[in-house]
Amino acid sequence: MSNKKNSPLSQLNGLLGTAVALPTAAWIAYSHLFVDHNLPLPDAITAEKKRFFNQMAGHINYYYDTSGSGRPLLLIHSVNAAASAYEMRPLFEHSRGTRPVYASDLPGYGFSDREARNYTPGIC
């Protein structure tokens, strides 16, 4: 009966596990020791930025450029794990100067407040 602990397959599994674990541990250590995790995030869009307070949603962030004239354009981003007004940046840049343009961070996204609530598909 062969010893399974010393079999070539067992040794290969151990080497592969080590090959994955060491770089992962090194990256975590590097990130913890040398990366400043308190840097402020840049604005999603290079434009004027305002916040207003809504009793139910908290502080809502939005960007605007009113240098154009005509019918205002309101840009609303999608709803996903990393959504923000940044998604609307190309459309914002394309439309600015030709008409008033607004792009908001919906509640719980971007720079808008994320209230202590369960975010479920039903409220989206």
48-123 classified as CATH 3.40.50.1820: yes
User: What strands lie across the sheet with 48-54, from one edge to the other?
Assistant: 48-54, 58-65, 101-105, 73-76
Per-residue pLDDT tens digits for 84-114: 999 999 999 999 999 999 999 999 999 999 8
Domain boundary assignment for the chain = 4-34, 48-123
Cα distance between residue 64 and residue 45, in whole Å? 9
pTM (2 decimals)?
0.68
38: amino acid identity, one letter: N
Structure tokens at 41: 């995030």
Q: For 9-23, 24-38, 88-102, 104-118, which range has the lowest pLDDT when averaged over its residues?
A: 9-23
pLDDT attached to residue 21: 84
